[in-house]
């Protein structure tokens, strides 16, 4: 009977798995390609595992002319770049490195997938950043901090013996968009990752990733010497501690000769660090940098530091790091979150960018949607990434954008880098929401070329992932391009930030005031709503965080009239009846913003339902059901925030917008149990 049931089950499942689209293919879908060109139509000298991969991709998927893969040492300053030249009967891809040839192959495959012209090509590509790195916040027990796509891809308990096929698929997906480095484990790092048994597991992953041009980095715990080997302390000025890290480096590089380096979260949110011993971040970073230096390894030292204090949280990283400028070794780079608080739907850019004149800086983005509705909400993040990269800091005069400060244009760093926290897990579709794949894709494409537009990235991704039918591409692209702003509108418009429910960061909790807890983990600290108005005063009369910005931004943000309205409540405490540029009162403007966020998502539902004929049923239903959740959540956000703020504004919700469907008191009772702190 048991067996019979099993057969019925298998029988029932087969047809579904046959017709269901395989989410694991990401954007590397070639639905109409049975096979590519024959091997004799590939001209290439020499053999190497990377070239082998390139050739396989061509024989599997390339349907065009003969391809010549040419290593050309003269192209040396192209970094991982390549050139592509084509005539009607031949395409030549040249690069000084094998990985450049593989990138070139993915380039022509992208052209084919997006039905772009492939004749008379004359393309030169050179990456914007040397190191294009994903940060996984994966724990050694298989869970992922802020991960919304299932458990970790890394099966630590199976490694080094059992190898999941997904390791290779993951590497391939990254290579196809130019990502060349990964941090495997959470910045809240277990010291165990540096144990010999774990290094043997890491080695297996590094070996699999290497032919795809990917280097492995690890997050390390600053207290490792003490915890792992029983040293008296982990003080960076202690000779025994320094020797411990040197020995560890030698052990790592014997196992993984091209190991990338360490990512470090120190003295932040309870993690150990050099300050435990009265030392500075520079002391800590330099000790590790000296240990890795002989092998060419890098230290990515995070600037995400803040502690409960009277000082505005938004000012703390700057205050901590600016005095250390110039004190770091040249293989240290300071990794800075895009905003000074924490990956909010919209933040002012982090004033630390450009403020370190003698220390290399890199951006940390968050692809995983900790603060943008997890993998339930559709939010295309290229516009957020671009907004940050294109922000002008004025550090070295007009035009000192974050992109130019970090890509080597304005500062001649030994190396340049850009990072983002991954949204990848073992879900079949990798990222929880099918559209969240686009954010992994967008980060890779922008790390390769930060001048690409959000529109172009969305266009490519849709055509590769779904179809090039314009009746689908156009409306879906419209959804994607407006989606992040819609999330801002229904969650935290006009510069509001961090009014999330504590711990899980999913729903709204503007009433959260953590009596007796940390004020900097409470929404009321961030929105400051009272009878007079709403918003965080960061001008001279408040925390004076505006002074951390270079002129003219300090003045511009310091003056309510010249502050961009999408950040007005970030920098100012604004009276409810303040007249906005469109003539509305602040209270009304806020209400209309929330309403427009909700309306947009309702439109996305309508649009998506019309797309049914262009999408396989699995992906259609998946996205449809997530949009339902998103719409309900948007209404929840709108009602919670407007009903709560209305207690202070004492104004009616404008009568032409949708009425609340919840009672404030009921909303306050909603308790989601999704774990974690603040």
Ligand X SMILES: CO[C@H]1[C@H](O)[C@@H](O)[C@H](O)O[C@@H]1C(=O)O
Q: Which residues bind ligand X (CB under 6 A)?
A: 137, 145-146, 187-188, 265, 269, 304, 342
Residue found under tokens 């011993």: 277
Is residue 269 part of the annotated active site? The answer reads yes
Tell me which long-range contacts 658-664 makes (C-beta under 8 A, separation of at least 24): 658/595, 658/598, 661/635, 662/635, 662/636, 664/639, 664/640
Question: How many other C-beta atoms can be found within 10 angstroms of the C-beta atom of residue 309?
Answer: 12
Give the C-alpha distances (Å, rounded to integers) separating 145 from 115, 381, 436, 673.
39, 20, 17, 15
Q: Which is nearer to ligand X, 402 or 421 (CB)?
A: 421
| Residue number of the CB atom closest to ligand X | 342
Is residue 555 part of the annotated active site? The answer reads no
**Please, what is the minimum distance in Å from the beta carbon of residue 180 to ligand X?**
22
* End-to-end Cα spacing for the chain: 51
Cα–Cα distance between 119 and 84 in angstroms, integer?
11
Q: Which is nearer to ligand X, 269 or 555 (CB)?
A: 269
Residue 241 φ then ψ, to 5°: -70, -45
Q: Which is nearer to ligand X, 267 or 376 (CB)?
A: 267
Q: Which is nearer to ligand X, 23 or 432 (CB)?
A: 432
**Please, what is the minimum distance in Å from the beta carbon of residue 342 to ligand X?**
4
Q: Which is nearer to ligand X, 130 or 342 (CB)?
A: 342
Is residue 342 part of the annotated active site? The answer reads yes
Query: Which among 125, 342, 460, 639 is annotated as catalytic?
Result: 342
Q: Which is nearer to ligand X, 368 or 563 (CB)?
A: 368
Q: Report residue 333 as tokens.
A: 């780079």
Question: What phi-psi label fits residue 208: left (phi over 0), alpha (psi between -120 and 50 degrees) or beta?
Answer: alpha
**Please, what is the minimum distance in Å from the beta carbon of residue 315 to ligand X?**
17
Contact 88, 119 (CB under 8 A): yes
Query: Which among 370, 554, 595, 618 is annotated as catalytic?
Result: 370
Contact 260, 298 (CB under 8 A): yes
**Please, what is the minimum distance in Å from the beta carbon of residue 137 to ligand X?**
5
Q: Which is nearer to ligand X, 583 or 675 (CB)?
A: 675
Q: From start to end of 297-358, where are the E strands?
A: 298-302, 332-337
Cα–Cα distance between 673 and 45 in angstroms, integer?
58
* Cβ contacts of 251 within 8 Å, gap of 6 or more: 196, 199
Residue 136 φ then ψ, to 5°: -90, 135
DSSP 311-357: S-GGGHHHHHHGGGTT-S-TTEEEEEESSSSSS-SS-PPPTTTTT-S
**Please, what is the minimum distance in Å from the beta carbon of residue 271 to ligand X?**
8
Best CA proximity match to 500, nearest among 670, 303, 617, 627: 670
**Please, what is the minimum distance in Å from the beta carbon of residue 282 to ligand X?**
20
Query: Which among 269, 455, 555, 663 is annotated as catalytic?
Result: 269
**Please, what is the minimum distance in Å from the beta carbon of residue 188 to ligand X?**
5
**Please, what is the minimum distance in Å from the beta carbon of residue 636 to ligand X?**
21
Cα–Cα distance between 192 and 198 in angstroms, integer?
7
Q: Which is nearer to ligand X, 419 or 563 (CB)?
A: 419
Catalytic residue numbers read 269, 342, 370
């Amino acid at each position: 009977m048991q067996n019979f049931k099993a057969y019925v089950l298998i029988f029932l499942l087969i047809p579904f798995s046959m017709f269901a689209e395989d989410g694991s293919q990401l954007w590397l879908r070639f639905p109409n390609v049975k096979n590519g060109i024959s091997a004799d139509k590939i001209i290439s000298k020499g053999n190497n595992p990377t070239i082998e991969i390139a050739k396989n991709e061509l024989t599997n998927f390339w349907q065009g002319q003969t391809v010549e893969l040419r290593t050309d040492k003269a192209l040396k300053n192209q970094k991982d770049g390549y050139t592509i030249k084509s005539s009607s009967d031949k395409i030549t891809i040249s690069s000084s490195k094998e990985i450049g040839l593989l990138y070139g192959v993915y380039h022509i495959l992208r052209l084919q997938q997006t039905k772009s012209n492939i004749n008379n090509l004359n393309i030169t590509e050179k990456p914007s950043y040397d190191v294009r790195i994903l940060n996984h916040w994966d724990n050694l027990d298989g869970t992922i901090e802020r991960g919304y796509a299932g458990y970790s891809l890394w099966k630590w308990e199976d490694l080094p013996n059992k190898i999941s096929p997904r390791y290779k698929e993951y590497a391939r997906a990254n290579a196809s968009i130019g990502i060349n480095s990964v941090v495997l484990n959470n910045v809240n790092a277990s010291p165990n990752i540096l144990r010999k048994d774990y290094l043997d597991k890491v080695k297996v992953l590094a070996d699999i990733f290497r032919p795809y041009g990917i280097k492995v980095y690890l997050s390390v715990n600053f207290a490792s010497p003490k915890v792992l080997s029983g040293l008296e302390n982990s003080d960076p000025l202690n000779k025994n501690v320094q020797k411990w890290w040197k020995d560890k480096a030698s052990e790592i590089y014997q196992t993984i000769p091209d190991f990338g380096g360490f990512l470090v979260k120190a003295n932040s949110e309870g993690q150990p660090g050099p300050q435990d011993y009265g030392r500075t971040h520079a002391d800590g970073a330099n000790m590790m940098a000296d240990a890795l230096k002989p092998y060419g390894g890098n230290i990515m030292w995070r600037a995400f530091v803040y502690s409960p204090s009277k000082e505005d949280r938004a000012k703390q990283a700057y205050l901590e790091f600016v005095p250390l400028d110039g004190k770091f070794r040249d293989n240290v780079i300071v990794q800075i979150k895009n905003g000074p608080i924490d990956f909010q739907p919209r933040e002012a850019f982090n004033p630390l960018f450009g403020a370190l004149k003698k220390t290399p800086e890199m951006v940390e983005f968050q692809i995983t949607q900790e603060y943008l509705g997890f993998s339930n909400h559709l939010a295309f993040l290229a516009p957020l990434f671009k907004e940050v990269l294109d922000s002008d800091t004025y550090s070295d005069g007009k035009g000192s954008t974050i992109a130019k400060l970090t890509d080597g244009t304005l500062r001649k760093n030994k190396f340049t880098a850009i990072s983002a926290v991954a949204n990848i897990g073992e879900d079949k579709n990798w990222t929880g929401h099918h559209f969240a794949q686009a954010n992994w894709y967008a980060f890779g494409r922008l790390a390769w070329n930060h001048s690409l537009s959000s529109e172009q990235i969305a266009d490519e991704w849709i055509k590769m992932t779904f179809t090039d039918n314009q009746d689908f591409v156009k409306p879906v692209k419209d959804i994607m391009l407006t989606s992040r702003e819609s999330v801002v509108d229904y969650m935290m418009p006009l510069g509001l930030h961090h009014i999330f429910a504590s711990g899980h960061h999913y729903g709204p909790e503007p009433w959260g005031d953590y009596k007796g807890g940390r004020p900097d983990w409470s929404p009321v600290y961030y929105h400051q709503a009272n009878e007079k108005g709403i918003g965080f005063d960061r001008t001279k009369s408040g925390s004076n965080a505006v002074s951390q910005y270079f002129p003219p931004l300090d003045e511009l943000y310091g003056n309510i009239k010249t502050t961009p309205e999408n950040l007005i409540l970030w920098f100012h405490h604004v009276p409810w009846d303040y007249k906005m540029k469109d003539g509305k009162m602040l209270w009304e403007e806020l209400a209309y913003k929330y309403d427009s966020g909700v309306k947009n998502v309702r439109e996305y539902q309508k649009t998506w339902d019309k797309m049914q004929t262009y999408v396989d049923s699995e992906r259609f239903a998946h996205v449809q059901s997530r949009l339902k959740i998103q719409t309900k959540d948007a209404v929840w956000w709108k009602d919670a925030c407007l009903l709560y703020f209305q207690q202070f504004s004492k104004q009616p919700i404008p009568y032409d917008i949708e009425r609340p469907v919840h009672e404030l008191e009921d909303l306050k009772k909603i308790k989601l149990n999704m774990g974690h702190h603040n």
